[in-house]
Structure 1
Amino acid sequence: MFKLFKINIFKSVYYSLKFRAKILVGRGTRLYLANGAKINGFGVIQIGVDYFGPVQETILEMSQNSSLIFAGNVNIKKGSNFFLGRGAKLEIGANTYFNQNTIVRVSSELKIGSSCAISWGVNIIDSDEHRIFINGQENEMVKKITISDNVWVGCNVIILKGVFLDTGVIVAAGSVVTSSFDSRQLVAGIPAKVIYKNVAWLD
């Protein structure tokens, strides 16, 4: 019953019917969906419903023909901002959650597995956002990011383009991740490096 006071019932019903999916939209959450943008999946996705502490505005902005696909219950907590570019694709696995004030920007593709914990203040960006030239050669601007199952991303982490995090990786708070890491590694630093191997964590 308490959660009903956090939900914008009109938006929740409207988007659930529009996309034939179970979508709960929190009060004050702003959704900007261009033509051809799609949200689909099974389970329930919450957008801007739960929170603790001070939060910013919750925004989901999807450009033309972009897609958000969820495979089970997903919780995007209040204060998070998600931006999907034209034709971009975001996939999220079951029982994954994003804490408040997280920013996700997808220009191409971002895949996040099941049972992942994304802490507050995290930035995940698959593009440089600007063209960069090195010795006269243009650098590849956009690369897919993959975050596998059971990954824990600590608070205020930045994950940049082309990164692959294998199952069970732990990223320590404040790290900047620019390269890929194998399963069950704990990584930390700027840029992030392996600190421990064969780690495990419980939510």
Structure 2
Amino acid sequence: MRGRLLIHGRIAVGVGSRIEVAPGAVMSVGEDSYFSPNVRIIVSSGFTVGRGCAIGWDVQILDDDQHVFRSGDRRRSRSAPIVLGDHVWVGSRAMIFKGVEIADGCVVASGAVVTRSVDEPNSLIAGNPASVVRRGIAWE
């Protein structure tokens, strides 16, 4: 880890999880958030986790498409920050990609592939590609 990891209070990270924060990138984790075993997180620009979030096992979160493009003499990698609001639950084996923002109280179903933001709080997000399948939910 060569970037910055900001932890705001108590969190838990499961065995076998891997978090990579690139130079110049920042990952911020809110209090009472939990990462299950075997979570993989790659941060090239930024990743913010709100308070009280639960990340299931084998979840992958990547804010970069992991491909470097050349344009003339310039190297370009396409990345965009990811933001999880407060009290977001990401089910096992879900994948969240660059530029996604998920509103407070949402649940990402197991196996979902999230490529677009969800700005409506308390929504259930499922599918590939993921979309809102239910509104007005709550989880404990």
TM-score normalised according to structure 1 size: 0.64
Higher helix share: 1
What is the CA distance between 1:140 and its match in structure 2?
A: 7.1
Rg larger for = 1
Work out which of the residue numbers 169, 183, 197 in structure 1 matches 2:121: 183
Instruction: Report the counterpart of residue 105 of structure 2 in structure 1.
Output: 168
Relative contact order higher in (CA < 8 Å, ≥ 6 apart): 2
Are 2:85 and 1:153 aligned? no
Q: Alignment identity in percent? A: 37
What is the CA distance between 1:77 and its match in structure 2?
A: 1.1
Q: Distance in 1 between matches of 2:85 and 2:77?
A: 23
Deviations 1:116-144 (A, max 9, x none): 000000000000110469xxxxx971101
Residue segments in structure 1 that go unaligned for 5+ positions in a row? 1-61, 134-138
Instruction: Report the counterpart of residue 46 of structure 2 in structure 1.
Output: 109
Deviations 1:2-25 (A, max 9, x none): xxxxxxxxxxxxxxxxxxxxxxxx
Q: Distance in 1 between matches of 2:63 and 2:26?
A: 11
Are 2:79 and 1:126 aligned? no
Residue type at the aligned position of 1:172: A
Q: Distance in 1 between matches of 2:41 and 2:109?
A: 18
Higher strand share: 2
Conservation of the 8 A alpha-carbon contact between 2:66 and 2:77 = no
Conservation of the 8 A alpha-carbon contact between 2:7 and 2:30 = yes
Instruction: Report the counterpart of residue 73 of structure 2 in structure 1.
Output: none
Q: Distance in 1 between matches of 2:125 and 2:68?
A: 29
Are 2:128 and 1:196 aligned? no
What is the CA distance between 1:149 and its match in structure 2?
A: 0.3
RMSD over aligned CA atoms reads 1.4
Query: How many residues end up aligned between the 2 structures?
Result: 134
Q: Distance in 2 between matches of 1:68 and 1:84?
A: 7
Point out 4+ residue stretches in structure 1 off by more than 2 angstroms. Answer: none
TM-score normalised according to structure 2 size: 0.92
Q: Distance in 2 between matches of 1:84 and 1:108?
A: 8
What is the CA distance between 1:87 and its match in structure 2?
A: 1.1
